[in-house]
Structure 1
Amino acid sequence: MNITSFLIYCVIVTFTPGPTNIAILSMAHHVKMKEVFRYVWGVTAVFGVLLSASVMLNSALAAVMPQILAFMQIVGCIYMLYLAYQVYKMDISGDSAQQAATFLNGFLMQFVNPKVWLFTMTVIPSYVMPYYKSSFVLSIFVLVITIVAFLALATWAIFGMVFKSFLQKHLKVTNIVLALLLVYSAIEVSGIVEFVKR
């Protein structure tokens, strides 16, 4: 097993900008760190759940993956557009950010994120299962990937807190830019780009 390739893949997928990371950055400059981390814990929990499901149901999930992803593309696109609207209308009071910064919202965001489904359902079967079959070893890999995901999310939350005063000083512009990035993510997730390229 190429551990370096495995870790690079995990870091790139979890640390690079995506709808979840953008949402966390947006929340971090509106609410307290404790509240942002409720959302982060919800997101992290889904990583663990989906990775565990990937290990336990690998062959069954591989058979239905195209149908799951097609459904997730539609639901994920709609949810990301809704999230973009929420980010756009957040004000300095942070009321809408407080409503968004919950464990449940973080949990649901990941469940409708096709990027997360694709990553969690392929990383262990592709990188780990060809070399390791032991339940204990597979559990260790699930834990390692979940920790990497948590560290990525925490990094985005801390980044938002560190630059809080700057982001609040340019609040409207920040909200518009973050909302547009979420709209872009929604378009990417929807599959429209691939459809147009055909």
Structure 2
Amino acid sequence: MPITLWLAFLGASLLLAIAPGPDNLFVLTQSAVHGARAGITVVLGLCTGLVLQTIAAALGLAAVVAAAPALFWAIKLLGCAYLLYLAFMAWKHAADGAEGRGAVALSSFALWRRGVIMNITNPKVLIFFLAFFPQFIPTGLTGTPLVIQMIIQGVTFIGATLVVFGGISWCAGTLADRLRSPRFQAALNRISAVIFLGLAVFTLMS
């Protein structure tokens, strides 16, 4: 991959990672509720999902999803249902913060799993890869060179996501830790529930 083309792709990936979107909001809320370290674990889960999405795009599975509306909608509905579940749990545990019990403790694996599920149940990521990656691929590439090119792009995109989302996680988690109190914790959980509900509606309608 020519260095000039790679730098252009890296710049575009960083801008896309910075632009407000569902994943940004998800990382922000999880970091605020559970802390900076927990937020970074969620980011690692999201990036793991991106690894799977990159492999799927390189193998042509993205094209299969794009060509199968029923499959696309099935994945979207799963993602919507998961966000509704997170919204319910966040609202349910808002009382814990109000009563001074703090946020419900989640293991690192549970947080990582949230990130993975959030990413892989978003079929728009696959479609995005299908539309975005080819714009930075030299014409005429086929077979193995094309797959390698897409893997390079995937690794670059994941790196950009890790840096930007990691920064968001650290800032949100550190600020929330300094302000943490029972009332603040309860408000964070309720705000998270509303955001998750909004993301579920956005996922279904977009």
The bucket for the TM-score relative to the shorter chain is 0.7 to 0.9
| Alignment partners' CA distance in 2, 1:99 and 1:106 | 11
- Structure 1 residues 5, 86: closer, same or farther in 2, change over 3 A? farther
Q: Which residue of 1 aligns with 2:198?
A: 184
Using structure 1 for the length normalisation, give the TM-score.
Answer: 0.76
Partner of 1:56: 59
1:139-174 CA-to-partner distances (Å, cap 9, x unmatched) read: 221110111121232122112222124552433333
Show CA shifts across 1:102-141 (max 9, x none). Answer: 322221121112443332343223x234547324433221
> By how many angstroms is 1:46 displaced?
1.0
Distance of aligned partners of 1:76 and 1:132 in 2 relative to their CA distance in 1, 3 Å threshold: farther
Q: Which runs of 5+ in 1 are unaligned?
A: none
Output aligned runs, 1:30-179, within 5 Å: 30-57=33-60, 60-61=63-64, 64-88=67-91, 89-90=93-94, 91=97, 93-98=102-107, 101-125=110-134, 127-129=135-137, 131=139, 133=141, 134=145, 135-165=147-177, 168-169=180-181, 170-179=184-193
Aligned-residue CA RMSD in angstroms?
3.2
Name the amino acid aligned to 1:84: A
1:10 aligns with 2:24: no
Measured in 2, the distance between the counterparts of 1:7 and 1:132 equals: 22
Q: How many residues align?
A: 191
The one-letter code of the counterpart of 1:146 is I
Compared CA separation, residues 58 and 51, structure 1 to 2 (3 A)? same
1:31–1:98 CA contact under 8 A, matched in 2: no
C-alpha distance 167-110 of structure 1, shift in aligned 2 (>3 A): farther
Q: Take 1:73 and 1:59, find their aligned partners in 2: how far apart are those partners?
A: 14
Contact 1:69 1:117 in 2 (8 A): no
Question: Matched residues in 1 for 2:14 and 2:175: separation?
Answer: 23
Structure 1 pair 94/3, CA: closer, same or farther in 2 (3 Å)? Answer: same
20, 23, 26: which is aligned to 1:23? 26
* Distance in 1 of aligned mates of 2:67 and 2:173: 40
TM (norm. structure 2) is: 0.73
Tell me how far apart the structure 2 counterparts of residues 93 and 74 of structure 1 sit (CA, whole Å): 31
**Bigger shift: residues 82-91 or 136-145:** 82-91
Unaligned segments of structure 2, at least 5 residues = none
Contact 1:51 1:121 in 2 (8 A): no
- 1:24 partner SS: helix
Equivalent-residue separation in structure 2 for 1:114 and 1:142 (angstroms): 16
